[in-house]
Amino acid sequence: MSNKIRLGIVGLGRIGMHMANIEISSFPELYEIVAVCDLIEERAKKLGEQTGAEIYTDYAEMLKQENIEMVYVATRSCDHYMHTVMAFEAGKDVLLEKPATISYNQALALFAKAKESGHKLYVHQQRRLEAAFNAVKEVIDSGKLGKVYEVNTEQNGFQHRDDWQTISEFGGGQLLNWGPHLIDQSLQFLGTSSYSLQSYLCQETAGGDCEDHLRIRFIGDNNRVVNMSISGATALKEGRSFVVYGDRGAAVYEDGVLKLRYINPEQVVPEIISDPGTPGASFGASGTYESEFKIDWITEEKEMGVEGEGCLMQYWKHMYESYRNGAPFFITDNDVLSIMRVISEVKAQNKYIMK
């Protein structure tokens, strides 16, 4: 007897169609798509014919199909809450595309609904598995860079974007698009659950009425700062990048390459004593701006590739093991709520800036 998870998918746009065609179909031994639904019948027919799934244009009708175990909600962000609650009420578990909801309070209510109904709720925060993120975090945790005091993470590009994700009515804007991924990573980089944040949103090149350029600075009570940037209005320095600064070195990831420069771990750095006296014709005891201590630098470089989609696809294996076998899942409810809390705080900080 097959033990595949029987999925119904609602919302066959870029995410719903892409995930079904590429990612879910890569794990035929784990998942079976038994129903598909979209308001545009042509889309539903296309995927239904490819997968052999039942075809719907009415979500409420799809939820009546008895053999659906889990609904993958990939509709517009503004509909995530309603469509997830409908699935719970129909006796289904849910995989919910990010953002979980459009506000922290709505997310609290949604997780409460999941608990009350006894149904499972997974949120598709797959970029916790991103290869570059995990490589950078591993470097930080290794101690090679010493005490890490600043981390920078960016996702940049340049588009004159004009789809629904530029319209606030539908939950548009980069804060709810790339935001959940980079916020999740930033909170992991921070190394503490206690922090304050500063933020800035603006609209520069996209249509609609939402931000396409944003900055968030997380300031931890451990004195570590994480600077997070997302932009659809930067013509240079496109794509994903990370920069990490520590008191013994630094790391940079850009264009698929991770570079490190750090002091040899075996070298003890002596206490640097500054001279309060008036300098002579040169600077400092060494005759330069530096002390006389000579650093033994180590450099490393690793080709990693730009995206690492294969790592992101492992989400489906993790979810299967959690759903079928009870394995701990790497994204907790509290993780998702922490992301949504940040989103709501950033919105509150910028309510007089954006339209």
What's the average pLDDT block by block, 10 residues per block, for the chain (355 residues)?
90 90 92 97 96 97 98 98 98 98 98 97 97 96 98 97 94 97 98 96 95 97 98 93 98 96 95 75 58 89 74 95 97 98 97 65
Q: Which domains does the chain have, with CATH numbers?
A: 5-124 (3.40.50.720), 128-308+337-349 (3.30.360.10)
**Token pair of 179 as six digits:** 């935001």
Backbone angles phi, psi at 199, to 5 degrees: -150, 160
Q: Which whole-number Å values give the CA distances from 124 to 73, 99, 128, 181, 257, in the listed order?
A: 10, 8, 10, 10, 26
Alpha carbon 242 to its chain centroid, in Å, reads: 14
Q: What is the pLDDT of residue 275?
A: 75
CA distance 14 to 18: 6
Residue 168 CA neighbour count, 13 Å, CB half: 9
Is residue 76 within 8 A of residue 170, CB to CB? The reply is: yes
Q: What is the pLDDT of residue 274?
A: 80
pLDDT tens digits, 117-133: 999 999 999 999 999 99
The amino acid at 290: E
Q: What is the pLDDT of residue 277?
A: 74
Beta sheet of 5-10, edge-to-edge order: 54-56, 31-37, 5-10, 70-73, 93-97, 121-124
Q: Report helix, strand or coil for 289.
A: coil
Number of CB atoms found within 10 A of residue 251's CB: 23
Helix-helix angle 104-117:333-349, to 10 degrees: 160
The amino acid at 222: N
Q: Which whole-number Å values give the CA distances from 222 to 118, 162, 217, in the listed order?
A: 38, 41, 14
Residue with tokens 């930033």: 186
Q: What is the pLDDT of residue 1?
A: 45
Q: What is the pLDDT of residue 272?
A: 83
pTM: 0.93
Number of CB atoms found within 10 A of residue 44's CB: 23
CA distance 77 to 109: 16
**Token pair of 325 as six digits:** 């076998």
**Token pair of 128 as six digits:** 């916790």
Q: What is the pLDDT of residue 2?
A: 74
Is residue 38 within 8 A of residue 62, CB to CB? The reply is: no
Q: What is the pLDDT of residue 279?
A: 64
Q: What is the pLDDT of residue 308?
A: 53
Backbone angles phi, psi at 118, to 5 degrees: 80, 15
CA distance 160 to 205: 5
